[in-house]
Amino acid sequence: MSKYITTPIYYVNGEAHIGHAYTTFIADSMARYEKLKGEDTYFLTGTDEHGQKIEESAQKNDKPTQQFADEISAGFKNLWDDFEISYDKFIRTTDEEHKIGVQKAFEVMYNKGDIYKDFYEGHYCVSCETFFTETQLVDGEFCPDCGRSTNIIKEESYFFRLSKYEDALLKHYADNPDFIMPRSRANEVINFVKGGLRDLSVTRTSFTWGVKMPESIKDDKHVMYVWLDALLNYITALGYGKDEANMHYWPASVQFVGKDILRFHAIYWPAFLMSLDLPLPQHIGAHGWWTRDGEKMSKSKGNVVSPREVADAYGVENLRYFMLREVPFGQDGDFSQRAFIDRINSELSNDLGNLLNRIIGMSGKYSDFEIDSVDVLKYHTKEIDAMNTVLDSLDAYMENLQTHRYLEELWKLFSIGNKAIEEHAPWVKMKEGKRDEALATVALVANILAKASIMLSPVMPKTTSTIADALSFSIDHAGYRELIEDKKLLKLFNIKPVPPLFPRVEEPLMAEAPLAHPNVSEESSKTEDNSKKEEDNLIEIGQFFETSLKVGVVVEAEEVPKSKKLLKLQVDLGEERPRQVVAGIREFYTPESLLNTQVCVVANLKPAKLMGMISEGMLLAAKDEEGLCLVRPEKPKKAGTPIG
């Protein structure tokens, strides 16, 4: 069964912003997912280049309209190419093949009696390319969608009989409750249609930048109205009206749009298709808007997020993960560098990156980097069953466009892997001579990483390719069928050491957005940390929080020669490299007993020298007449988790 996935075609009156990137990332991930499963999939994106707004923008920039459209369209295409978006076709509405298909569709609808000529007089919003009635306007003048002033226009126009399809549309919504996704968006569309549909103006005579009329109609003063022209791109890209070479991909599986253009895609577009006797898309997926730090983005505020700037600072893969994980599909999302950094450090670096590093380290130490799955099922049936339960649940989330839930569920696999290491402690098994059990745990986690990487690959294709290379397997349909569908395990292989996948980010890598309320002085926002100290050695809460306490994992431990008290530890605090901590605990702990266990560390002490060795922190411990014991988390926590 073939799959057809589309983004909207982006309007070329400005550069790509973070909302465009979000739509494209979702569509790209969905297309990659379907191809991974072996589905014959076609993925379309492109640019919308006609209309009065483009003509006016070109004039303001003192450029010929075609040149202006070429430059902006190239900006979108270059960005998607740099981001390695896996589109099969990038369509432009100035393509000759598209114009031929639009003219053919107009001719079909005209000959069917669904298009007729009349005069139009009403309020028109140039920005939205939309006509409105008096009752729809705000204060009798302003566009209800964008808030800009409308113009009263009277001109000859060809009209599409939208009203004819009112009942058919309502029936389709009722018969196909998942036509509009998420379902919460459907009511606004249904109520609009129930309010009564007016026939739609589909041509204009007051400007020339558009698709000309079919020669058979002989009416050169008209150009086609932008929404008829633009919406038809989804079938002209497949060859409609020309060679129709790829029309077998129609109807579309899912067409992704922003919520601001849902009405056009859920009302006008299906009506046009009904008129052309073509099947309707299976799903229209409408996503929300993005704000920045809780504020609506605008050029005047200076807080517009450039996807290229973010990708240059943090990496495209991290941006893809953050946007698809951060917000439920259909809801508005907020771009916050702090939230972005938190997800990089906790989920990508700690959960995924550190798990791979631990497996590489243990396999190198225990088996010269060789990993064999021969004993995994013997010792780890419970973990394998839990892993398969997660893997079996993922497809439903992707089918329902719930990428955030897909990733949330997928991340449970890394929790299974980390928990298995803590529970089965391969370092203890090696010390006890139970080498087979220790190596089985290492192989278990390697298999978890492999299977998770396959399922993560639609979202993070380059990162997972690196993991696949390290684990000596391929991420493709054959790998998906073998490891996911058939639930097989990795064959004997040698793991390759790789640099850390996700270096920790300590500070924002981009300039922060301007303050929403810049008139608020810094003094007024300060807390009372500097209030007068109390007596009796009491400290203020602010002083306490000046101490940085973090959970760490001991990754190496050894005795200090010539010292009866000191151990030298390498402690992972979720940073780019482990910290060296020299601790006076040798009388109470052996190096082996500490390896891969968790400790609590004072992380912001100035480095000190003990017996000529640098110590970059201090372990928390309690000591009484019965001896010393380290302070540890009650339950395992991620390396670097703050304490306080």
Residue 212 lies in a domain: no
Q: Residue written as tokens 């306007």?
A: 137
Check whether residue 477 and residue 570 sit in a common domain. Answer: no
The total number of structural domains in the chain stands at 2
Residue 295 lies in a domain: no
Check whether residue 555 and residue 613 sit in a common domain. Answer: yes
Which band of pLDDT confidence, cut at 50, 70 and 90, is reported for residue 634? confident
Check whether residue 355 and residue 467 sit in a common domain. Answer: yes
Dist CA 35 CA 3 (whole Å): 9
pLDDT of 339 > 80? The answer is: yes
Task: Give the amino acid at 440.
Answer: A
Q: Rounded to whole angstroms, what are the CA distances from 618 to 494, 595, 612? A: 37, 17, 16
Query: Of 425, 460, 494, which closes a domain?
Result: 494
User: For 478-500, how does the pLDDT look when each residue is reduced to its tens digit (9 = 90+)?
Assistant: 999 999 999 999 999 999 999 99
Please give the pLDDT value at position 614: 84
Please give the pLDDT value at position 535: 42
Which residues does the annotation place in the binding site for Zn(2+)? 125, 128, 143, 146
Check whether residue 476 and residue 377 sit in a common domain. Answer: yes
Please give the pLDDT value at position 113: 97
8 Å CB contact between 80 and 21:
no
Residue 419 lies in a domain: yes
Segment (H or E) for 270: helix 269-275
How large a percentage of the chain has pLDDT more than 70? 95
Please give the pLDDT value at position 523: 38
The CATH number for 587's domain is 2.40.50.140
Residue 113 lies in a domain: no
Average pLDDT of the chain is 91
Domain encompassing residue 458: 337-494
Which band of pLDDT confidence, cut at 50, 70 and 90, is reported for residue 301? confident
User: For 541-579, how does the pLDDT look when each residue is reduced to its tens digit (9 = 90+)?
Assistant: 555 657 889 999 998 898 888 787 889 999 999 887 889
Which band of pLDDT confidence, cut at 50, 70 and 90, is reported for residue 540? low
pTM: 0.78
Segment (H or E) for 600: strand 598-602
Query: Of 494, 526, 553, which closes a domain?
Result: 494
pLDDT of 640 > 90? The answer is: no
Which residues does the annotation place in the binding site? 125, 128, 143, 146
Residue 61 lies in a domain: no
Check whether residue 483 and residue 360 sit in a common domain. Answer: yes
Check whether residue 482 and residue 578 sit in a common domain. Answer: no
Give mean pLDDT, residues 247-251.
98
Residue 54 lies in a domain: no
Size (the chain), residues: 644
Residue 157 lies in a domain: no
Give mean pLDDT, residues 218-241.
94
Check whether residue 395 and residue 487 sit in a common domain. Answer: yes
Paired residues of 118 in beta bridges? 157
8 Å CB contact between 633 and 598:
yes
Q: Rounded to whole angstroms, what are the CA distances from 247 to 2, 282, 415, 505, 550? A: 11, 15, 44, 47, 58
Task: Tell me 346's DSSP state.
Answer: I
pLDDT of 112 > 80? The answer is: yes
Q: Rounded to whole angstroms, what are the CA distances from 625 to 2, 475, 628? A: 73, 58, 8
Please give the pLDDT value at position 541: 55
Check whether residue 411 and residue 482 sit in a common domain. Answer: yes
For residue 224, the tally of other CB atoms under 10 A from its CB is: 25
User: For 28-72, how does the pLDDT look when each residue is reduced to its tens digit (9 = 90+)?
Assistant: 999 999 999 999 999 999 999 998 888 888 899 999 999 999 999
User: For 612-624, how does the pLDDT look when each residue is reduced to its tens digit (9 = 90+)?
Assistant: 688 899 999 988 7
Check whether residue 416 and residue 486 sit in a common domain. Answer: yes
Query: Of 433, 466, 494, which closes a domain?
Result: 494
8 Å CB contact between 321 and 464:
no
Residue 436 lies in a domain: yes
Q: Rounded to whole angstroms, what are the CA distances from 418 to 22, 444, 546? A: 31, 11, 31
Check whether residue 581 and residue 459 sit in a common domain. Answer: no
Check whether residue 562 and residue 636 sit in a common domain. Answer: yes
Check whether residue 481 and residue 620 sit in a common domain. Answer: no
The CATH number for 478's domain is 1.10.730.10
